[in-house]
Structure 1
């Protein structure tokens, strides 16, 4: 049984929410160039959009009903607890979980066999190992690139700069900066 609040919310959110309420078929077709308006694909597109919109509206209705049921059930539990004057507090999380389980069928977890568990664990170990190998290779590559840049800047370290090597030095520093800031770290 729908409550007055549920009806009001549903009315507010879903009345006049169909695609035909927002844009008529003729208005939709008029948006297209004149030579494309008679194309059956335009009609098909409108139909697809109308069906998608209908699924969205139905989803909103379902979610509103679910939330109203949860709220109603929760309020009823609170009222029952007050009337009973029970010193025991009802755990709200468990109550909401129970309400959802009544409305939405619960998935029964399948128990894994030992062989399946070992297989999944080996798969996880394999994935982690490959990720660590990738990180290791990437780190080695970055160290090599950084070393090459530092070597190219050795003239700066030993103060052996000629007039033409200032530009080369600045270029090397820019390369080093891009490597350190994240140019290659994101890969």
Structure 2
């Protein structure tokens, strides 16, 4: 059974291709002036055109067969190259880490992207990154507020104004506790 490619090329290039399929001998002789229609050379000319046409059709058939064989090799080459690309590693990326990420993300098989799926995946990744940025900015604002509150609590020390400790503790102990909280916020911001 011919391949789909061979059938498509044959249907397009060969049907109807024989001279007798679209011009009969009678129609061909009617092209000539009436005085030459009975000349035996007209019939010989028709046969010669038919022979040349059949020769051309055979040449087209051979070319179609060669093209089908060439396309089979191209398909094999493409499949081989695709397998190499799918198995290739990118410099700087750990293949084990990539495999773990695929397993964690639930993508046990590699998806082959189309232009539309790549675009969708990129949009989803951008939205995820934007959400992470918003979350990080909120954490930074929260950390900044905490630092500002602690610095404000220590500003009395800087200006030499000592208010009575609200907790009733010794001023030095309260100052030390506030400095430790400031150090903790700076070293380990809340997540």
Q: How would you bin the TM-score normalised by the shorter chain?
A: 0.3 to 0.5
Larger Rg: 2
Q: Given the two structures, how large is their TM-score scaled by the length of structure 2?
A: 0.41
